[in-house]
Amino acid sequence: MSFMETLIPPIRERRHPETSLAHGAARCGQGQKRATCAVMAQADRSFTQGSICPLLPALGIMTSLPETVVLMHGAVGCGSCANGNNVNIRAGHAARGRANQDAVWVSTSLNEINVINGGEEKLAAAILEVDSAYNPKVILTVSGCLPGVIGDDIDGVAAKTQDQVKAKILPVHCEGFKSRFMATAYDVVYHAVGRHLLPEKAAGPKDPLTVNVMNVGSMGLIDEKELARLLGELGLKANFFPVFANPDSFALATQARLSISVCPTHDDYFLNHLKEKYDVPFIIRHMPIGIKNTSQWLLDLGQELGLAKEAQALVKKEESELQVALEDFKAFFAGQTAFISAGEYRSLATALLLRELGFKILGIRSFHFDSFAEVELAKLDQGDDFIFNVANVQPFEEANLLKRLKPDIFLGHWHGNSTAARLGIPAQVIYNSGFAYIGYQGAYDLARRLYRRLKNPAFYRRLGQYAKLPYRPEWYEEDPFNHIREAQG
Ligand code: SF4
């Protein structure tokens, strides 16, 4: 039976038990080759400073959908991260020609009495209220930890209330306590979309020119345009979804000739569903970040679609133009050192790009690790060794590592850059939906930004003199991985 036929999607740990090598902790030592650098299976920490709940990325996708309301069913704090992300939602809509559109989310705000008596009535009442107040096409009823613990049946409530509302109700199971793989977020959203927004059969005949390119939020519109440009050079059209896609448009994915992933960590659940149910084949191998990776991504696409020669010619032209444009940057970067912190695939693909630009990689901190990363790690075998830390956040480990390694530049997400910055290390945001990052344009754009950051690091040097991190000096004397424990049993 397909996973999609079940009400509740499996968590990543269960879906990929053979490959979920490390969630929470892992350690590789410098001076070891990857083959000898064992990532500890199911390891844990004796101390944890904080981690990312799957709700964060799930809400990032869900709140971007036009004509949709996210109805959080949980404690009032669940979903509050959507407020901080609203700037990206507004910017994403504005870039697509839809001005002044906010993320619309409301909460059932469960309290102690609801914990004892159950929250289903509250959810049913909220669905009716949201439908009449906002008149959306879709209401995503999202279960946080609390209803998961007390056993509220969000699917049952959706079924009972569906006839009373105009909107389509999509139950989403995103109870944070169930999985320590943040990537579970992508599966739970795709599960809801696959079950409720796709037709029983393909919406129409296959379109031989359309290729599905899935974007769960790791690309801004500028990156989508870069990939659309490259696909256009091969005579193909890109169908981007799910972020910022109208719920009515999801059915188009069933008619595509092919799907290609831009991030294997994100996409495999839905790609498999499109293949199994609608016979849309897929490629899931590379992330088009960096020169060689982008070229490989295009060559795979060309190979699959009988456009191998065209893809080779395109890659040759793009690479030669880019190498000329990068010459001065590469001379400047030669020998400079970098530390990267991000999601599994982005961190590894960025490491490859930085090596292409002349950097030496000292360390990579990846939010989790699974078998998809093997392809990228194998590519990194060819260069210098580096510390590889698998950590869902844990800034105390990162601070210790950075103090030892002293990289010239740190690349991380905006919420994580302050550790490096307060140590006086120039920090470059690794993802901002307004900046190009993907494809050949992204490689050039990142080089330009790194050049500017490194050319004048005075701001960070001064910040490092005056800003403090909250750790005692003794912590920096300890092994940064002292709190990592092998799984028992
Ligand atoms: S779903 Fe659970 S872990 Fe996530 S924010 Fe809500 S209570 Fe916290």
Residues 160-178 have pLDDT tens digits of: 999 999 999 999 999 999 8
Determine phi and psi for 170, rounding to 5 degrees: -115, 105
Q: Which CATH architecture does the domain made up of 207-309 adopt?
A: 3-Layer(aba) Sandwich (3.40)
Indicate the CATH number of 53-196 among 1.10.2020.10, 3.30.930.10, 3.40.50.620, 3.40.50.1980.
3.40.50.1980
pLDDT (0 to 100) of residue 480? 87
Sole residue written with tokens 């102690």 = 112
Determine the Cα–Cα distance for residues 476 and 232; give it in Å rounded to an integer: 51
CB 65 within 8 A of CB 246: yes
Is the separation of the CB atoms in 85 and 58 below 8 Å? Answer: no
Q: Is the CB of 53 under 6 A from ligand 1?
A: yes
- pTM here is 0.93
Q: Which residues of the chain have pLDDT under 70?
A: 1, 17-43, 486-489
Q: Which CATH architecture has domain 310-485?
A: 3-Layer(aba) Sandwich (3.40)
Q: What local confidence, expressed as pLDDT, does residue 189 receive?
A: 96
Look at residue 225 in the predicted model and tell me its pLDDT: 98
**Residue 40 carries which side chain, given as an amino acid letter?**
M
Choose among 400, 399, 410: nearest CA to 454. 410
- Asked if 469 contacts 422 with a C-beta cutoff of 8 angstroms, the reply is yes
Per-residue pLDDT at 39? 54
Pocket test for ligand 1, best of 51, 55, 154 (most atoms within 8 A of CB): 55
The residue count for the chain: 489
Q: Give me ligand 1 centre to Cα 176, in Å.
A: 5
Q: How far apart are CA 301 and CA 285, in angstroms?
A: 11
Q: 3-state DSSP call for residue 4? A: helix
What are the sequence ranges of the domains in the chain?
Answer: 53-196, 207-309, 310-485
Which pLDDT value is given to residue 24?
42
**Which numbered atom of ligand 1 lies nearest the CA of 144?**
1
Output the CA–CA distances (angstroms, integers) from residue 284 to 20, 22, 188, 258, 374, in the order listed.
18, 21, 19, 11, 13
Beta strands in 158-227 (DSSP E): 168-173, 207-215
Q: Is the CB of 136 under 6 A from ligand 1?
A: no
Q: Is the distance from the beta carbon of residue 148 to the nearest atom of ligand 1 less than 6 Å? A: no
Residue 323 C-alpha from the chain's centroid: 28
